[in-house]
Amino acid sequence: MGLLRRLTSLITRLTSHYSWPAMDIALAGKQRLHLVGSIHMGTPDMAPLPAALQQKLRGASALIVEADISRGGSPFGDIPEAPPLQQRVSPAQWQQIEILAGELALPLSAIDRLPAWQVALVLQAHQASQLGLQADYGIDYQLLNAAHQAGIPVIELEGAESQIAILRELPDGGQCLLDDTLTHWHTNARLLQMMIGWWLDTPPQSGPVTLPNTFGDTLFDVLMRQRNQQWQTFLGNLPAGRYVVAVGALHLYGEGNLPTLLRR
């Protein structure tokens, strides 16, 4: 590691202690990134955003998000119907889905003909809602509204259409995502509660963060590792400037995380 990179790493470690999950990284091209571990749905006590974070946003060249979800519209419009769900899952999974749907007050008819990956997303969204999370209080949503109000440019890392394309390309209609959602249902709830705690109580500090596993190897590679690598390249090609970068908190911690890639 060269002297400049060692100094950059030291600066990063010394400036990563915020009251929200975040860290600062300076890249070789003079891009100064404030990486924020976002949670896409939040609780009312997550608003307003911390004053110091709002100040960082006001001083930024742009806000960078995975997708600008504040623009409205749905990326799900042209997705064809799938066969009935009971025909596509095991008897044990169908029984679990029936139980979860009842607990979540989710009509089975609402998910019966959706592709497996979309069934997983609907179940996850209802689980988050049951835990008291709402989309209007999501961190990236709040940041987007603040950026638009202040006239700060917004840059998308992917965009909603690209994210849906990734899911649509999963094998077997995204059955692996549904399998993982059902297998790790309670673990995912604990993970959501952990991330809420990061925003309301104690955010992670520098150093390794142990996270519960909610992805199999295939999904982790597609949804985490590959995307982090693409974002590393994207961020490294930005013009010099200061940027607030809000991505899902799991991308900042754990195996193959984005900050580790950027520090290389």
Task: Give the model's confidence band at 256: pLDDT under 50 very low, under 70 low, under 90 confident, else very high.
Answer: confident
Whether the pLDDT of residue 209 is over 70: the answer is yes
Whether the pLDDT of residue 9 is over 50: the answer is no
Whether the pLDDT of residue 21 is over 50: the answer is yes
**77: in domain:** no
Written as six digits, the tokens of 238 are: 């930005």
- CA dist., res. 256 & res. 208, Å (int): 11
* Residues 126 and 33: beta-carbon distance below 8 Å: no
**250: in domain:** yes
Whether the pLDDT of residue 7 is over 60: the answer is no
- CA dist., res. 187 & res. 136, Å (int): 24
Task: Give the model's confidence band at 23: pLDDT under 50 very low, under 70 low, under 90 confident, else very high.
Answer: very high
Whether the pLDDT of residue 27 is over 50: the answer is yes
Average pLDDT of 75-99? Answer: 93
**126: in domain:** yes
**251: in domain:** yes
Q: How many domains, in total, are found in the chain? A: 1
Task: Give the model's confidence band at 8: pLDDT under 50 very low, under 70 low, under 90 confident, else very high.
Answer: very low
Q: What residue numbers bound the domain in which 230 lies? A: 3-71+87-263
How many angstroms from the chain centroid is the CA of residue 184? 17
Average pLDDT of 92-100? Answer: 98
Per-residue pLDDT, 207: 61
Task: Give the model's confidence band at 4: pLDDT under 50 very low, under 70 low, under 90 confident, else very high.
Answer: very low
Nearest CA among 68, 9, 8, 58 for reference residue 38: 68
pTM of the model: 0.90
**Residues 221-226: contacts with CB within 8 Å, 24+ apart?**
222/166, 222/170, 223/166, 224/250, 224/251, 224/256, 225/255, 225/256
Pairing mode, if any, of strands 22-26 and 31-38?
antiparallel
**79: in domain:** no
**205: in domain:** yes
**138: in domain:** yes
Q: Report which residue type is found at 226.
A: Q
Average pLDDT of 41-47? Answer: 96
113: enclosing H helix or E strand: none
